[in-house]
A and B are shown apart, each in its own frame.
Chain A
Amino acid sequence: MSVLEGNYLLANLPALMSGLALTARITLIAVVLGIAWGTVLALARLSQNRILAWFATFYVNLFRSVPLVMVILWFFLIVPQLMHALFGNAVEDIRFTSALVAFSLFEAAYYSEIMRAGILSVSRGQFDAGLALGFTRQETLRIIILPQAFRNMLPLLLTQAVILFQDTSLVYVIGLSDFFGTAHKLGDRDGHLVEMLLLAGLIYFLISFLASQLVARLQKRRIR
């Protein structure tokens, strides 16, 4: 294959690496923000406040019913408008920001389901015990329940992160040059589309496969 000949890959390595860096940035930030917002949503859903619970349920169901592609396109439309309204015109790269917002809000719906299961997995008795020891409800949640919920769900949270890593390739629809976008663009420009697509697939596979093997290992050690 001609891509493997000469210095083609070497010459384009910086572009590919910066694409990969962008993919990693979106993944990491969206995982952190998604888990944080997802935990809040999970707590809201389990709270006694009807309105909060209703809002969280609506939010989660809405985001889980709409394709990610549509969510990315939606936020590409909304975020620029919002940024103008909030910060005047001082806006960084809109596509990156809107992709981050889209992924964080979208993934939060999925993370909230995981965190909800995690919270429910901690026995009710612990909550009561916390109250009996004189902790407030918030303290009990923060100091006793959530750390355990988080630990119990760590493998699932990480698995979802691997899915998120793969899903970031969909920023293609707003023209952001992540790893896949860069590979596709280079291949398209230089007539190596077939090779570059296969190469991109291989890299994604290696990273995701390794990551999920690590998660599986973690899970096994947990069980033991």
Chain B
Amino acid sequence: MPLHADGGTLQKIKENKVITIGHRESSLPFSYYGANQEVVGYSHTFALKIVEAIKSRLDLPDLNVRLMPVTSANRITLVQNGTVDMECGSTTNNAERRKQVAFSNSLFVVSTRFMTRSNSGLLDFPHLAGKTVVTTAGTTSERLLRRMNDDKQMGMNIISAKDHGEAFLTLETGRAVAFMMDDALLYGERAKAKNPQDWMIAGPPVTLEVYACMLRKDDPDFKRLVNAVITRMMLSGEAERIYNKWFTTPIPPKGLNLDFPLSEPMRLLYEDPNDISFDGDGQESHSAGSALAAGKGYQWNWQVLLSKTPSGGTYLDWLWEGLRWTVLLSLSSWCVALLLGIFLGVLRTVNSKPYLVLFAKAYVELFRNVPLLVQLFTWYFVLPELLPDVWGDAIKQWHPLWQQFFAAWLCLSLFTAARIIEQVRTAIESLPPGRKNAGLALGMNLPQVYRFVLLPVALRITLPPLTSEFLNIFKNSAVATTIGLVELSRQAQQLVDYTAQPYEAFISVTVLYLLINVLVMLAMRRLESVVRIPRFTSGGKT
């Protein structure tokens, strides 16, 4: 699908009289929300200056500027497919990305370091061996960390958080001992802490990286304009004033000071603006394999699934891993949900004990009327804080994957149980009251009546609706992607970020979900035919 086969971004902006700028939501102090949810930051200031230059170049003083928040997992795709014209945040310029997009002159030079508690005694990367380290998903720090872990066999547990805020929260709540990220972002996150002095930035600056604005590929006109603005700002000293505003004086939203003095590489950049990326060649690559080069359609490449991942193995292994987590999570939650659901479903029908009925009723209402996502976040973020410190801290010491798994498992179990309760109740209530009375008349007590008379029939009646709940639990397990569990839909997003081949990734994962669905349906149909009571139709309520 050609986006702008003729003319480039500038032409597009001129025709539509609108420019869409991608920004970050919590990349302090580069691009983030200020006190009133307005976008501010060092990189964003450059973006606004560039917009001014575009306005005067195109003679469009009232050009409509649209701001679109992006995440590190979708920013490349959004620039490629034309949703966003330019993204100025904290995107690293590297060779892999230059296959997909173009970069402007550098805005900032950073090095990858880590943040840890001031009293942790962790000063260098080797100290992190065997520890739990958090980083942000889809960033170059994540790749660096994973490569370091594999190459040096450090045995670190690595958590990939959705964004920097979540990563710092993971560090702050003790789920990880260190947060590895670009130093500037670490200073930014530190400023957000309740007590910034509690945290220090450590580790020698090993790798230099540059942040730059991301543009579409093969659009020299637009790139020239952007670069001219950046160069002019740096040479005139304006850039350094902007730097001081964001890095050495108090900034919104809380008026904190990052206290991050101008580094030597930054001083060099301001003296000689350039687009050198410190990762080999600084030139824009024109190699094949880009998903949406200007003027060309989508390039299918199924073989990408067989190519090597940064952590060894192929992307197919990622899908397999995702599938295993999805199945494990769904099955284990199902077992608990079924037991709990039947148990509470029975209580719900014991009318002689009103408080039991009330309890089961309240349970159902509570879990039915709060969105699954909110429940999941509650179990993941809130539960460890509300538990006694000893327990909360114990949970945070677990392997990160198991923390995510535990929260998702608890969430799905309790949520699904609420739905099973209602189905069990409906089934039991659909049985003629004569059955219960007959059982009691035969001298059975109430538990016996349930066990031998009511449940054997009621459970068979519930089988069809239970099948659909069983299917639901597999689908609902996808929500666990939001807390970072590497189940199927998370892997789909990771694949998109790493390979920039979104359709292949999504189609593969969708097919896997369909496959699960078909298998479950076949298995349940089999079960239904095995346990069916001959000549027994529906509930018997005539």
Contact = CB atoms under 8 A, between A and B. Distances in A.
Interface of A: 15, 62, 64-70, 73-74, 76-77, 80-81, 84-85, 88-91, 93-95, 162, 166-167, 169-170, 172-175, 180, 184-185, 188-191, 193-194, 197-198, 200-201, 204-205, 208-209, 212
B130 to A, nearest CB: 28
B369 A204 contact: yes
Given A69-B478, A175-B25, A205-B370, A89 B493 contact: no
A67 B480 CA distance: 11
Contacts of B74: 76, 174-175
A84 B82 contact: yes
Given A66-B510, A68-B478, 10 more contacts: A66-B475, A67-B476, A68-B475, A77-B506, A80-B78, A94-B68, A175-B74, A194-B385, A201-B378, A209-B369
B15 interface: yes
B77 A185 contact: no
B478 A77 contact: no
Contact of B372 (A64, A93, A94, A166): A166
Contacts of B12: 89
Contacts of A209: 365, 369
Interface of B: 1, 3, 12, 15-16, 18, 25-26, 33, 37, 66, 68-71, 74, 77-78, 81-83, 165-166, 169, 192, 194, 253-254, 365-366, 368-375, 377-378, 381-382, 385-386, 471, 474-479, 481-482, 489, 492-493, 502-503, 506, 509-510, 513-514, 517
Contacts of A201: 370, 374-375, 378
Contacts of B372: 166-167
Contact of B192 (A15, A70, A191, A212): A191
20 contacts: A65-B471, A65-B517, A67-B513, A70-B489, A77-B502, A80-B81, A80-B82, A80-B83, A84-B3, A166-B370, A169-B374, A174-B74, A180-B374, A185-B26, A189-B192, A190-B253, A194-B382, A201-B370, A204-B371, A204-B374
B492 A73 contact: yes
A67 B489 contact: yes
A185 B386 CA distance: 21
Given A15-B37, A66-B510, A89-B82, A185 B25 contact: yes
A197 B478 contact: no
Contacts of A174: 74
Contacts of A89: 12, 15-16, 18, 82
Nearest to A187: B381
Contacts of B18: 89-90
Contact of A212 (B369, B374, B479): B369
Contact of B478 (A64, A67, A95, A194): A67
B27 to A, nearest CB: 12
A142 to B, nearest CB: 31
A73 B495 CA distance: 13
A67 B475 contact: yes
A79 to B, nearest CB: 9
B377 A197 contact: yes
Contacts of A204: 369-371, 374
A69 B63 CA distance: 35
A188 to B, nearest CB: 5
B414 to A, nearest CB: 13
A110 B8 CA distance: 43
A224 to B, nearest CB: 19
Contacts of B489: 67, 69-70, 73
B255 to A, nearest CB: 13
Nearest to B503: A77
B401 to A, nearest CB: 19
Interface of B is mostly: helix
A114 B459 CA distance: 24
Contacts of A69: 478-479, 481, 489
Contacts of B69: 175
| Residue of A62, A88, A175, A180 with most partner-chain B CB within 10 A | A175
A194 B171 CA distance: 15
B371 A166 contact: yes
Given A189-B26, A209-B369, A173 B482 contact: yes
B81 A81 contact: yes
Contact of A188 (B77, B78, B169): B169
Given A73-B492, A89-B15, A197-B381, A94 B70 contact: no
Contact of B382 (A15, A68, A197): A197
Given A15-B37, A189-B26, A208-B370, A70 B378 contact: no
Q: Kindly list the 7 A-B residue pairs having the minimum CB-CB distance in the complex, ordered from nearest.
A: A67-B478, A208-B369, A166-B371, A65-B517, A69-B478, A67-B475, A169-B371
Given A80-B82, A81-B1, A189 B373 contact: no
A194 B83 contact: no
B156 to A, nearest CB: 25
Contacts of A190: 253-254
B509 A70 contact: yes
Nearest to B493: A73
A28 B82 CA distance: 29
A172 B478 CA distance: 13
Given A94-B83, A185-B33, A205 B502 contact: no
Contacts of A93: 66, 68
A162 B369 CA distance: 8
Contacts of A173: 481-482
Nearest to A80: B83
A205 B492 contact: no
Nearest to B367: A205
B506 A73 contact: yes
Contacts of B510: 66, 70, 74
A170 B475 contact: no
B293 to A, nearest CB: 15
Contact of B513 (A70, A76, A77, A91): A70
B530 to A, nearest CB: 24
Contacts of A188: 26, 165-166, 169
A191 B371 contact: no
A93 B22 CA distance: 12
Nearest to A171: B373
B136 to A, nearest CB: 13
Contact of B506 (A70, A167, A185): A70
B33 A77 contact: no
A210 B74 CA distance: 37
B492 A65 contact: no
Contacts of B517: 65
Contacts of B378: 197-198, 201
Contacts of B471: 64-65
A166 to B, nearest CB: 4
A185 B374 CA distance: 13
Contacts of A91: 83
A75 B503 CA distance: 11
Nearest to B515: A65
